[in-house]
Amino acid sequence: MEGFYNGKIDGIFTNAATALMKYQYFHQQHRDYIWEVDGRVNSVTLPLLTKNFEEYALSWIRRVLEERVFHAKCDDRYPFVIEQKELGILVESAAKQLHLDTVDGAQDFLQQEHGTESVLC
């Protein structure tokens, strides 16, 4: 559970209920909707628990690249609109160039201070 529970896996769920509530609360803060933090595996929590953590973490990095990092300027027009398909290609290319395509690379990148980064299309 992404470091929220480090105890023994013994089949007794009550030992993990508090950790599950912390997990639910954490993920609730990063979502656009609210659900009950109750320490039970429900229809919202189950998909989170069964996701591949690396893919989940990297998807957030790609989302940040899409939403906040890419401010295109083309022929002195700003902002320049990029179609979604092309933006996806640009995001994947930039993630590789900036070594944001692995969790370790993302951690290294985020621990450093950065100004504007340029990437090749």
The per-residue pLDDT for range 3-15, each reduced to its tens digit, is: 788 888 777 776 6
Same domain, 101 and 59: yes
User: What percent of the chain lies above the pLDDT cut of 70?
Assistant: 79
- Count of domains for the chain: 2
- For the question of whether the overall pTM of this predicted structure is more than 0.85, the answer is no
On whether residue 99 sits in a domain, the answer given is yes
C-beta of residue 70 within 8 angstroms of C-beta of residue 95: no
On whether residue 120 sits in a domain, the answer given is no
Same domain, 75 and 95: yes
Same domain, 68 and 91: yes
Residue 19 identity: A
C-beta of residue 39 within 8 angstroms of C-beta of residue 14: no
Same domain, 42 and 67: no
Same domain, 88 and 63: yes
Q: Residue 98: which region, alpha, beta or left (left: phi > 0; alpha: psi -120 to 50)?
A: alpha
Domain residues for the domain of 59 are 53-110
On whether residue 32 sits in a domain, the answer given is yes
